[in-house]
């Protein structure tokens, strides 16, 4: 009998403790505060000013930046894994919508803590001494053919090296009118078969070190290469040749010495 009484006493103590916890939680919920971070409507964690560590870190950032697409009222995306890595858009859809209102290609130089800058630099794998990386935003009329192919073929990121003549695209982000500046020609018109300098089509390499051989520097000694989104049924060669310009669209322009 003593053992049975002991078990009953322990059980009673356990349930009294649980009931006390529930009552305390109910009292806390009735006086719960809203998370201190501007724009967050969640309740703050008990005895804290924020709902989570992520919200606390976000509130410590200087200012929440607006989405880079003109007219979008939202702020740029913040990763929960690393709130100090910068993103330019609130979502991937906003990046695609940005091209709808453009009449000519736009270059956006990326900061070194930008998510895309870090990803591109990682893909280069130390093969280049990078000075700048620019995101390329094509007008919808140039990007449409490539995006249509997306539903039919697999995408991969590949490098394309070519000739740089001018300095304006490096310093100001504006293209020149020199027809021998292949970098600016591709920025203005995309990949056009009539621009091909060697071979039957366009060549793309999976690594930056291979594309270096195709790059020509301008007078200041700066070289540039594209990192392109390439659609193809199968990736089987180190250097792939394409005669259909719609299967490739430059995404980033990498400047290096």
| CATH code of the domain covering residue 115 | 3.90.228.10
Residue 20 lies in a domain: no
Residue 78 lies in a domain: no
For 61, the token pair is 């950032």
Residue 69 lies in a domain: no
Number of domains present in the structure of the chain: 1
pLDDT band at 108 (very low <50, low <70, confident <90, very high): very high
Residue 215 lies in a domain: yes
Residue 189 lies in a domain: yes
Strand partners, 230: 156, 248
Domain carrying residue 119: 102-256
Q: Residues 21-79: pLDDT tens digits?
A: 665 655 554 456 888 877 788 888 777 888 887 787 777 665 667 888 888 888 888 77
Residue 11 lies in a domain: no
Residue 133 lies in a domain: yes
Rg (CA), the chain: 27
For 49, the token pair is 């000013």
Q: Collect all residues with Cβ–Cβ distance below 8 Å to 237 and sequence separation of at least 6.
A: none
- Cα separation, 37 vs 51, in Å, equals 9
What CA–CA distances, in Å, run from 7 to 14, 19, 226? 11, 18, 73
Residue 161 lies in a domain: yes
Give CA torsion, residues 198, 166, 246, 235, to 10 deg.
60
Length of the chain, in residues: 257
Q: Which residue has the tokens 């702020």?
A: 75
pLDDT band at 143 (very low <50, low <70, confident <90, very high): confident
Prediction pTM value: 0.69
């Amino acid at each position: 009998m003593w053992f049975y009484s002991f078990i009953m006493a322990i059980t009673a103590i356990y349930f009294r403790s649980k009931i006390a916890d529930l009552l305390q939680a109910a009292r806390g919920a009735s006086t719960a505060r809203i998370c201190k971070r501007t724009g967050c409507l969640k309740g703050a964690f008990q005895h804290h000013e924020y709902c989570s560590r992520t919200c606390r870190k976000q509130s410590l950032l200087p200012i929440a930046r607006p989405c880079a697409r003109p007219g979008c009222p939202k702020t740029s995306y913040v990763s929960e894994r690393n709130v100090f890595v910068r993103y330019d858009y609130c979502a991937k859809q906003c990046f695609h919508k940005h091209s709808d209102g453009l009449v000519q290609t736009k270059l956006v130089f990326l900061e070194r803590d930008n998510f895309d800058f870090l990803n591109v630099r990682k893909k280069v794998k130390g093969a280049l001494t990078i000075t700048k990386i620019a995101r390329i935003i094509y007008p919808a009329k140039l990007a449409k053919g490539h995006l249509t192919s997306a539903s039919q073929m697999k995408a991969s990121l590949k490098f394309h090296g070519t000739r740089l003549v001018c300095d304006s695209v490096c310093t100001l982000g504006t293209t020149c009118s020199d027809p021998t500046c292949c970098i600016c020609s591709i920025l203005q018109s995309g990949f056009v078969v009539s621009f091909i300098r060697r071979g039957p089509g366009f060549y793309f390499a999976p690594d930056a070190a291979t594309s270096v051989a195709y790059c020509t520097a301008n007078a200041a000694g700066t070289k540039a290469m594209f990192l392109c989104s390439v659609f193809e049924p199968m990736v089987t060669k180190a250097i792939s040749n394409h005669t259909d310009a719609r299967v490739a669209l430059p995404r980033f322009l990498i400047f290096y010495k």
